[in-house]
């Protein structure tokens, strides 16, 4: 039990560190290609050498951080080519997952989508009323929750995991567009309502088209 408790405590610390560093990468506090030194990160975020290394390995697996010659770490680059590649992967994975979810999802799945959509719209209203880093992050998390709800009935844990991973990798591009005032919330709201309706009607072709349009508009429209 003692070893189990220590393992559980370490996992909690790593999860908290990963959340903080992931957030700062997403907001550009930690810049693309910036070197990540263990001691400097510990002074900034806390944790031990071991927990920080575990955190960085987790973020490497997510694609947020890169290992450099197995001797150090840096923030993953964020070029236009990176964005194009991430967008391509997001669309391939999300469309496959959504297609399967529409085919297999039941009433509980539909209820989950309605609830996640409501939460996303509420977060969007809070962001528009009081735009700051906290409401921006809350909105982005709610948008992620909606995507994850859409694909949750796909029947493949790996597809669901990949959906979350590529969403996370695209997050900093999306938040950058938000900071620059390049997201049209009225148009986005219309697309999301149409996407929800298409999913509920099990109109797969229309749902996939709307998902693609919305993802492209959020990241590169």
Strand partners, 74: 35, 66
CATH number of the structural domain 80-220: 1.20.120.530
Are 99 and 208 in contact by the 8 Å Cβ rule? The answer is: yes
Residue 51: CB atoms within 10 Å: 21
Q: What is the pLDDT of residue 12?
A: 85
pLDDT digits (tens, 9 = 90+) for 89-132: 999 999 999 999 999 999 999 999 999 999 999 999 999 999 99
pTM of the prediction?
A: 0.85
Query: Which tokens go with 217?
Result: 């508009």
Distance of alpha carbon 175 from alpha carbon 139, whole angstroms = 10
CATH number of the structural domain 2-75: 1.10.10.10
Are 65 and 59 in contact by the 8 Å Cβ rule? The answer is: yes
Q: What is the pLDDT of residue 7?
A: 53
Q: What is the pLDDT of residue 6?
A: 52
pLDDT digits (tens, 9 = 90+) for 133-148: 889 989 999 999 999 9
DSSP string, 142-210: HHHHHHHHHHTTSS-HHHHHHHHHHHHHHHHHHHHHHHTT---HHHHHHHHHHHHHHHHTT-HHHHHHH
Which residues, at least 6 apart from 67, have a Cβ–Cβ distance to it below 8 Å? 56, 60, 73
Write down the residue that tokens 């950058």 correspond to: 176
Q: What is the pLDDT of residue 3?
A: 39
CATH 1.10.10.10, the chain: domain bounds: 2-75
Q: What is the pLDDT of residue 21?
A: 93
CATH 1.20.120.530, the chain: domain bounds: 80-220
Q: Which residues of the chain have pLDDT under 50?
A: 1-5
Q: What is the pLDDT of residue 28?
A: 86
């Amino acid at each position: 039990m003692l070893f189990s408790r220590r393992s559980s405590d370490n996992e909690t610390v790593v999860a908290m560190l990963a959340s903080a560093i992931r957030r700062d990468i997403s907001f550009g506090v930690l810049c693309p290609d910036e070197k990540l030194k263990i001691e400097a990160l510990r002074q900034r975020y806390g944790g031990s050498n071991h927990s920080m290394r575990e955190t960085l390995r987790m973020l490497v697996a997510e694609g947020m951080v890169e290992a450099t010659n197995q001797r150090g770490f840096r923030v993953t680059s964020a070029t236009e080519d990176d964005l194009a590649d991430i967008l391509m992967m997001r669309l391939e994975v999300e469309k496959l997952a959504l297609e399967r979810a529409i085919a297999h999802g039941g009433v509980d799945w539909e209820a989950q989508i309605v609830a996640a959509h409501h939460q996303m719209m509420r977060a969007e209203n809070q962001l528009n009323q009081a735009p700051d880093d906290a409401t921006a992050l809350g909105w982005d998390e709610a948008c992620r929750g909606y995507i994850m709800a859409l694909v949750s009935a796909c029947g493949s844990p790996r597809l669901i995991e990949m959906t979350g991973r590529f969403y996370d990798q695209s997050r900093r591009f999306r938040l950058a567009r938000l900071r620059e005032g390049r997201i049209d919330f009225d148009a986005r709201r219309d697309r999301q309502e149409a996407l929800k309706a298409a999913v509920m009607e099990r109109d797969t072709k229309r749902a996939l088209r709307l998902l693609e349009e919305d993802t492209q508009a959020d990241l590169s429209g």
